[in-house]
Amino acid sequence: MNKRNPFYNSEGYPDPTAYHGTKEIIKAENELEKKVSDLVHVIHDIAGFAGFEVIGRITFKHKKTGKEFR
């Protein structure tokens, strides 16, 4: 599957069956990644307001899926 346009397969041909079968999964993953991104920005902002700076990598683990974000 093409990352830029999941409707097309890796060879560049339209693959509507795979697209319709995976579009909800892709949508859920994108929403989860957006939440993590927003969370990182909020933590950086809170640290800044408190007079601190985040200098290390922040790692999160989603409770429901167990997926780790670094």
| pLDDT tens, position by position, 24-66 | 998 999 999 999 999 999 999 999 999 999 999 999 999 999 9
Query: Which pLDDT band, with edges at 50, 70 and 90, does 3 fall under?
Result: low
Residue 8 one-letter amino acid: Y
Q: For residue 32, give every residue at least 6 positions away whose Cβ sits within 8 Å of its Cβ, in sequence order, or none.
A: 62, 65, 67
3-state class (DSSP) for residue 60: strand
Gap between the Cα atoms of 12 and 70, Å rounded:
31
Longest dimension (CA), the chain: 53
Q: How confident is the model at residue 2 (pLDDT cuts 50, 70, 90)?
A: low
Q: What predicted TM-score, i.e. pTM, was given to this entire model?
A: 0.74
Query: Are residues 62 and 32 in contact, defined by beta-carbon separation less than 8 angstroms?
Result: yes
Pick 10 or 58 by higher pLDDT: 58
